[in-house]
Amino acid sequence: AEAELTTDAMMEFAGVDQLGGTAALNYASPLRGNINPTLRRQLHQIRENALAARGACMLDADTFAPSPTAMIGLTRILQEKFGKFNPGDDRAAQNARAERMRHYLAERMHYAVIIHEMGHTFGYRHNFVSSSSAFNYRPQYWQLRTRNGQVTQACTDLAMGQDAEDCIGPRYYDAITENETDNLIGMFSHSSVMDYAGDYTQDLLGLGAYDFAAAKMFYGDTATMFADEDMKYTQQVPKGQALTEGLLDNFGGIIGYNYDAPRPSLQVQGAFEPIHYTQLHNEYQLINSCGPVDVTEAGEADGTMTYESATFKPSYWDEETMGKWHPVVDGLIVKVDGQYSRCFQRRVANRSWESLRFPNVDGFYRGGPAISPADDLTRYPYAFATDRWADLGNLSVYRHDIGADPYELFNFFITEQEVMHIFNDYRRNRQQFSVRGAANRILTRYNEKMRDAAKGMTLIYNNIKQVALDGGDDPDQLWKLYVDVFGWTDNMTASTLAFDHFARQMQRPQAGPHRTNPTDSVLEFDDFQAPNVLIPNGVQGFWQDVGIGGKPVENALAEDKGEYNAEFTVNAGSYYDKNYTTMLLTESVDNFISDSLDDFTDPRYRAVSIADLFPDGYRRWLSNNLTDDRQIKGARMVGLNAISPDVRADLFPNYPLRFTSWTGDQPSVCFPNSGTSICSTYDSNGQLIDPLLPAATIAIDPQIGWEQQKFLIAWTLVYLPENQKEVWLDMMNIWNVGEDSDPGFTNRIELHIPNGDVYVARTYGTEEICFETCKTVQRGIGARILEYANQLLAQGYANTPVVTPGATWYEPTYSNGAPVVTNAGAAEHLADFISVPNFMRHAMRDFHMASPSQKGIY
């Protein structure tokens, strides 16, 4: 099995060529150290912690460089600072303009790097929750989100345009507005220079509030307290108590930041209610006394604006080197309702650390001294978490990220890798380009972070499931109750987003020309005949929407390097995205700290994966991808009818491609509306977010073949059984009667191959999967494989059906000792497909996971 996984593409990924025997396996096997993803991740974490212990930073620019996601707003600002691009200018003028921009940005970013490293010199450690602690975001962020405190209504459904200006809520409801883009809202989404920026614009800022407060604490033994009366600890509406007990000295762990608001009306001591972070201003008045500032603007002939401010523009401003002064990037002043303005934050006071006492808390309290006994002031909840907690699944603690809740964080990771596809995955004349570097960026920079964050919910789910089983309750109903009560809807919504994203990576079609196959009406790649549709390469822009398209699967070679074409790879294909998908869904490595009795007696509940959170979703996804049923496996596009794609004049789709969501009660294809990337939230109501409902859809070949199916099986066997649960192995097991003992169970399906071999798998009932049409298929993984093989046998050979209560199979008819072929194409397809059940059986044997009734098991 291992040799089958050491493919030419994996050898190229490993950087080796034409090695034989053990050497090839040591260097190029995905199961061994050189490219094993789990070991590589652990080594990277060791390196980062060692650097942090020395106060050192090392940025692998090709892998971890910040994102250009604010580029639209920054581009507009740079054009106002340095003039609009004029294609009529000569090359020298264009280069001079570009160099002025580069010099300006380099100077600002160099300043940010210097003060970051000076922070280490002063004893500061990295602070990776700066970008996730919404309570500590800069006031400009809250100015833009609340229109200077005017917006108090919560968004409860999808809002776009002016509607989004008039309410505030989760980003799957409350889309980013044009004004937020123009004023670089992402730039203000952090509070410390000791973070690693998620977006380039965050490196245009200087010190944050945390940085000043930390210096006072380090060198003055002085704590920063809320100075306002309403934030005192013993107030009737205990805002200070809610923040002290729920937020102070706490980064949220695997759940991330969760916020509470006091609810005295509940008439319960310490009665707090979970709120979404977007309601923080409503509850805690984060900004106040907003008003206009001294900024005037005048239009220029080229359509740009010139800004002046006697108060905020420095007298030394040099337009030749720094461009025109701009209120947003140079003055850090934002425009709200057409007027540049600024707001005050809450007042703070200083108290000696030694004078503080602990709060009066019944039960668990995570923080340190927090209350000033003399005046009842509460300590300000600045946010902190450093390297030892980063990139391990603690949802708020990631390097190079942006996002105040799980949905924003995951959406950032997905958007970033899609936007960067054409830059990251193609050589573009880069000498340092490598297939391994490009593929690893997608895996480590984005996907592993989403996986580990989603795994945290699985750990909690396992605990609550056990509580339900011990109490005789329904685990799923109890879980949904906990999600509602504790405000975990966004965590679960993000977890489904991660599962769907990984499944989409496996499902993505080849980019380029496609034609409708008349046999199964599936659009398949065809670069010889006139196409029906051109599948876009990467993201495709639509009005107020962005669609995720296909990707080249292959590592293409150059065609203009003569003798060296075969040595010059021009892109990294989605082959690696597809092959690592199963690992991302099943990796069950225990990332969690051990400190409880159960951790030292039966810690199997801690070996969790996304597949454990959505077991039926993973089972359906795996079993159907181990067939060649393209109608079920394929991505979708909108059709004019069942066979004609809805395309523009240039043959690109009129609407974004859409992909299967496997995590619900039934698999479905989600067509989100403009401004959101999901069709429903995860809560007890499963609220729909105004999804699109096209009249006709057409399946697209997902390019899932033998190369992908090997890794589907292998990674599942490597990772999923780590928690020692036998259910997955039972569903996957396949016997070859004759070589193996007959397993003897009656709930079975058989496959009688025309060469005389008989395969057997256990059945677990059937289920209906509906897309354009409905199909009833086997639920078990091994059973689904044999069911599909039986369909090919029935198409390719004369046969006798065998009908049982749980399954139907076919025994081929023979004439003069040879099977009777009725369809040569289907017979050939069956001969190729037999590799799947055969590999499943051999892999389970090689990994020592097969049933003892199989040959060679002791």
Three-class secondary structure of residue 836 per DSSP: helix
420 and 561 fall within a common domain = yes
Identify the pLDDT of residue 542.
Answer: 64
Burial of 369 (0-12, 13-18, 19+ CB in 10 A): middle
606 found inside a domain: yes
401 found inside a domain: no
CA distance 165 to 162: 5
439 and 357 fall within a common domain = no
Average confidence (pLDDT) over 38-48: 84
434 and 525 fall within a common domain = yes
Smallest CA-to-CA distance from 17 within 435, 425, 558, 578 is with: 435
Q: Which ranges of 351-488 would DSSP assign to H, the alpha helix?
A: 406-419, 421-424, 435-440, 448-471, 475-485
Structural domains of the chain, count: 4
Q: Which of 44-48, 578-582, 792-796 has the lowest mean pLDDT?
A: 44-48
Q: What is the pLDDT of residues 281-337, one digit of tens each?
A: 999 999 999 999 999 988 887 777 889 998 999 999 999 999 999 999 999 999 999
Mean pLDDT of the chain: 89
Q: What is the pLDDT of residues 586-620, one digit of tens each?
A: 988 877 777 778 778 877 778 889 998 999 999 99
Identify the pLDDT of residue 858.
Answer: 36
Q: What is the pLDDT of residues 767-821, one digit of tens each?
A: 999 988 999 999 999 999 999 999 999 999 999 999 999 999 999 999 999 999 9
CA distance 778 to 763: 7
Identify the pLDDT of residue 95.
Answer: 95
434 and 343 fall within a common domain = no
417 and 383 fall within a common domain = no
Average confidence (pLDDT) over 361-376: 90
370 and 326 fall within a common domain = yes
Q: What is the pLDDT of residues 114-132, one digit of tens each?
A: 999 999 999 999 999 999 9
**C-beta separation of 371 from 215 below 8 A:** no
385 and 412 fall within a common domain = no
SS3 assignment for 743-787:
CCCCCEEEEECCCCCEEEEECCCEEEEECCCEEEEECCHHHHHHH
The neighbour count for residue 593, using CB atoms within 10 Å, is: 11
Q: What is the pLDDT of residues 47-77, one digit of tens each?
A: 888 888 888 887 776 555 667 678 889 999 9
One-letter amino acid at 515 equals: R
Q: What is the pLDDT of residues 466-518, one digit of tens each?
A: 889 889 999 888 988 888 888 888 899 899 999 999 999 999 999 999 999 99
- From residue 816, give the alpha-carbon distance in Å to each of 752, 755, 820, 857: 18, 14, 9, 37
Identify the pLDDT of residue 707.
Answer: 93
777 and 629 fall within a common domain = no
pLDDT at 20 over 90: no
pLDDT at 269 over 60: no
**C-beta separation of 114 from 370 below 8 A:** no
Q: List the beta bridge partners of residue 537.
A: 550
Among 364, 389, 414, the domain boundary falls at 389
Q: Dihedral (C-alpha) 620, 625, 629, 632: value to the nearest 10 degrees?
A: 50
Q: List the beta bridge partners of residue 541.
A: 546
110 and 213 fall within a common domain = yes
**C-beta separation of 457 from 491 below 8 A:** yes
710 found inside a domain: no
pTM score of the predicted model: 0.92
Query: Hey, CA dihedral for 533, 534, 538, 540, is it positive or negative?
Result: negative
- From residue 647, give the alpha-carbon distance in Å to each of 186, 507, 550, 642, 671: 35, 21, 15, 14, 16
Burial of 820 (0-12, 13-18, 19+ CB in 10 A): middle
Domain range for 12 = 2-35
Identify the pLDDT of residue 106.
Answer: 93
**Angle between helical axes of 835-846 and 824-833 (0-180°, round to 10):** 10
**C-beta separation of 409 from 133 below 8 A:** no
SS3 assignment for 529-575:
CCCCEEECECEEEECCEEEECECCCCCCECCCCHHHHHHCECECCCH
42 found inside a domain: no
The neighbour count for residue 650, using CB atoms within 10 Å, is: 6
696 and 775 fall within a common domain = no
719 found inside a domain: no
Q: Going edge to edge, which strands form the sheet with 334-336? A: 287-292, 339-345, 334-336
% of the chain exceeding 70 in pLDDT? 94
CA distance 80 to 76: 6
pLDDT at 855 over 60: no
Query: Hey, CA dihedral for 168, 171, 177, 180, is it positive or negative?
Result: positive
Residue showing tokens 């909108």: 638
Choice between 854 and 316, residue whose per-residue pLDDT is larger: 316
Q: Dihedral (C-alpha) 688, 692, 697, 701: value to the nearest 10 degrees?
A: -70
Identify the pLDDT of residue 851.
Answer: 66
858 found inside a domain: no
Three-class secondary structure of residue 118 per DSSP: helix
CA distance 651 to 455: 41
**C-beta separation of 686 from 680 below 8 A:** yes
384 and 420 fall within a common domain = no
56 found inside a domain: no
Q: What is the pLDDT of residues 25-37, one digit of tens each?
A: 777 888 876 788 8
Query: Hey, CA dihedral for 721, 723, 728, 729, is it positive or negative?
Result: positive
Distance from the Cα of residue 782 to its chain's centroid: 30
Burial of 765 (0-12, 13-18, 19+ CB in 10 A): exposed
CA distance 292 to 286: 18
Q: Which pair of tokens denotes residue 115?
A: 């003060």
Average confidence (pLDDT) over 716-731: 78
Burial of 527 (0-12, 13-18, 19+ CB in 10 A): exposed
625 and 664 fall within a common domain = yes
Q: Which pair of tokens denotes residue 828?
A: 């050939």
pLDDT at 740 over 50: yes
- From residue 233, give the alpha-carbon distance in Å to each of 213, 227, 247, 369, 373: 21, 11, 14, 13, 10
Among 324, 354, 389, the domain boundary falls at 389
Among 389, 419, 434, the domain boundary falls at 389
**C-beta separation of 713 from 626 below 8 A:** yes
∠ CA 369-258-349, nearest 5°, is: 40
Identify the pLDDT of residue 314.
Answer: 94
Q: What is the pLDDT of residues 396-452, one digit of tens each?
A: 999 999 999 999 999 999 988 998 898 889 998 888 889 998 998 999 889 999 999
CA distance 73 to 181: 5
pLDDT at 856 over 50: no
**Angle between helical axes of 489-507 and 406-419 (0-180°, round to 10):** 20
**C-beta separation of 356 from 372 below 8 A:** yes
- Tallying the residues shown for the chain, one arrives at 858
CA distance 744 to 724: 24
Identify the pLDDT of residue 161.
Answer: 74
709 found inside a domain: no
